[in-house]
Structures are given as C-alpha cells and as structure tokens.
A and B are shown apart, each in its own frame.
Chain A
Amino acid sequence: MSEILELAAGNLISPIILSFVLGVSAALLRSDLTIPEAVAKGMSIYLLFAIGFKGGAGVAAHGIDTTLVLTLVIACILSFGLPFIGFVLLGAMSRLGTLDRAAVAAHYGSISIVTFVAATSVLDAQGIASEGYMVAAAAVMEAPAILSALWLVSRSGGGSRGTVDAGLYREILLNGSIVLLVGSFLIGAVTGEDGLAKISPFIVAPFQGVLCLFLLDMGLVAGRGLRDSRRELGPGTIAFGMVMPLIGSCLGLIGALLAGLSPGGAALLMTLSASASYIAVPAAMRVALPEARPSIYLTLSLGVTFPFNLTVGIPLYTALSTAIAGG
C-alpha cells in the first residue's frame, strides 16, 4: 500500500500532471489561456504518430507471438462487454435515462488514447517495459463499445431518432485517430529499429514536452467542461466516473493475466479498460443518439474520469500490475 501511495505521489509532481492541473486551474479561474485549435490538432497527430510508430518498432524488435492475438481478442471482448456493466451500474447509481446511460456506457467501453499515452510515459519513466502491440489493442478497443451501446438502446426500447447507417460505421472504423495509430504502428513494424533510429530525434526526444502542452490543453477543456456542466452531474453520476474505471481496470488485469502480458503490458490494458473515450465515441453518439446529452457524457469522461485516471488510476494500475502480473 505504501508503495502505491509513493508511486501516486511521485506521479502527481510529474510535469505532465502539473501541466494538466495548470490547464484545469486556468479554466476554473476563467483565464483567457487557450491553445489554438490547429495547434492542439497538430499535437494530437504528433502524439498518435509517435506512440504508434514506437509500438510498431517494438513489435519488429521482439516479434509476433500468440500473446498478441490473445491480447487483441481480449481487448475486443473488453470493449464489447464494458458498456453492459456501465449501463447497469449507471442505472443503479444515477437517475439518467436510457439514452444517456447508453451513451455514457459507450464512452467507458471505448478508450482514451491520451490516458494510454500518459500511462506509457509513466511506465517509461519507471523503466517498466511493455509490449509494443498494446497500441494495436488500443485501436481495437475504440469501436466495439459503440455497437454495444446501440444494441442496448434498441434492446431497451430507448427509441432514438438518430442515424445509424453505413456511413456511421465507416466513420467509426476509419476514424482519423484509428487510421493514424494503426498506420504509424504498421510503418514502425515494417521499418523496425532502423526506422525508429532515423526519426527518433523527432518522435522520441520531444515527446514528453509535447505531451505536457497537450495535457495543458486537455486540462483547459476538462476545466471548462466542469465549470459549465458540473450542475448536470449528480453525485451518483460523478461517483460512477470514478468507480467504473476501477471495475474496468480489474477486468483489464484479469484479461492481461489470461493473455500472459508483462507487468507493463498489464498496466496498459488496465489503463485502456479504465479509460473513457472523448474523441471517437462522442462524434458517433451525436449522430446515432442525438437525444443523449453531451454535457453528461463529455463532462463525465473528460472532467471526472480522465483526471482520476491521470492522478490516481495510472499509478494504482502500475503498482497492481507490477505486484500481481510481475509475481
């Protein structure tokens, strides 16, 4: 326990967390600090490319094994399954209606790539190795949760007037983040360590600095969301935003043990299972479930779960995976 607290304390004073805290504070204090939209988009592309490329290069160095296939299957099952738990849990913990519950549940089955990037950064700082193909697991977990949420709505007779068509499925599966992540992963896997060596001054050295600025922006967005929409979240809904990641991470740990992942890989699968989407899923929900309130699902995902995972979750998952999967 003391080790977990020590890790959490160490994590809290890292530049990435403090940058996030700065962003949240600036937004709550109504500062006019903003990161231009195009800069934020550019940093997001950089981070996705860098993390995908490094993951692919890692796979090229260590080869492909059955653990990879097993991990991807388990990741897919987790993404399909977590929304069902979230949907039932929200029914017990909040007064949200079917459509809001389904939309929130979809977010918690999908993943937050920035939380994943922050977790890899924490693992790197602690010298804990992880499987490069966890990037592929992240990509696999983006979309299935959306299908589960849509099924939950149709099953519960929620009756949304939204559009669920071939175009929506294409947008979900070929979402820019997924294409970039998978594409850079494949480039990394094909070009290997030599390819990584050629571009490492660009994708390795500046990575932490860019991540700090990106988290500053995320902090601003999360802070504005909390400032403007916190009244829409009841205590039960806020508690859900912290309980659901813990449940997800436990299931992620079980999946990691079944797949035979290393402690680092297990920490990343726990983080993925604990995180909530705020890019791919919100866009899909606006099209498919327009009656569900973004002020609920975005504020919960960005304003509650993201900071929770960043400050408490990642150190906790890292310590647990090291203690259990490392044993």
Chain B
Amino acid sequence: METHKAKRVEIIIEAALESRLTNAMRKAGVTGYTVLPVKGGSGRSGEWNRSGQVTRGSGMVAVVCLIRPDRLDTLLDAAFAVVEPHIGVVSITDAQVLRAERF
C-alpha cells in the first residue's frame, strides 16, 4: 500500500489554553487536529493528576495533528506563540499517512 510522508505534531498544554491554541492553528490553516485528555504526569512543575483538579485551569490536554512536512513551520510558528509562556511540551515526529490529500 502506498504511504506518504507527514509530520505528527503533539502539543501538551494547559487546558485553559486549549481554545487559544486550536484557534491559532485554524488561523494558520491547520484545520485537522485531535484533542485528547491527559490523565496526569510529572515535569518541571512537579507531579499532577487529573483526579486532583477542581479547575480546568490546572488540567492538561494533548492536541495532536498530522500535516504535510512543508506546512510544519507555519504550524509551529502559530502554536509556539500560544505555548511559549506556558507549561507544556511540543514534540514532532516523522509519520506515514495513507491518504495524503487529507492532510
């Protein structure tokens, strides 16, 4: 089966910033993404767990999107403007997709 090169960008960010990030991505032309709940974790700000949150302000979400490699910089510029001052992780991995026209 034929596959096509793509980039998988995963952004873990505070839940309070979710709509700002997805708005910035849409403005940059990235309309396809998936938002996943994050159960818990540990990082520079210490351990946290979803069950211990009373406010959406202190939870985290993961925004995942697959894009064509030539659109990566546009996406990262838009996303980083939102993520930069906040707690979060941005990672990029090489991926293969089946239907290139969808990305």
Contacts and interface: CB of A to CB of B under 8 A. Distances in A.
A161 B85 CA distance: 6
Interface of A: 34-37, 40, 160-163, 167, 218, 220-221, 224-225, 228-229, 278-279, 282-287, 290-291, 294-295, 298, 302
B50 to A, nearest CB: 6
Contact of A163 (B20, B49, B51, B54): B20
Given A161-B85, A163-B20, A279 B55 contact: yes
Contact of B50 (A37, A278, A291, A298): A37
A287 B19 contact: no
A311 to B, nearest CB: 19
A267 B34 CA distance: 48
B79 to A, nearest CB: 14
Interface residues of B, number: 23
Contacts of A283: 16, 55-57
Given A229-B46, A290-B87, A282 B52 contact: no
A224 B50 CA distance: 12
A279 B87 CA distance: 19
B56 to A, nearest CB: 6
A278 to B, nearest CB: 6
16 contacts: A35-B51, A161-B84, A161-B85, A163-B82, A167-B20, A229-B46, A279-B55, A282-B55, A283-B57, A285-B57, A286-B57, A286-B58, A290-B85, A290-B87, A294-B45, A295-B46
A285 B86 CA distance: 11
A34 B17 CA distance: 26
Contacts of B17: 286-287
Given A167-B20, A287-B20, A302-B54, 18 more contacts: A35-B51, A37-B50, A37-B51, A37-B53, A161-B85, A167-B19, A221-B53, A221-B54, A224-B49, A225-B52, A228-B47, A229-B46, A283-B16, A283-B55, A286-B17, A290-B85, A290-B86, A295-B46
A270 to B, nearest CB: 23
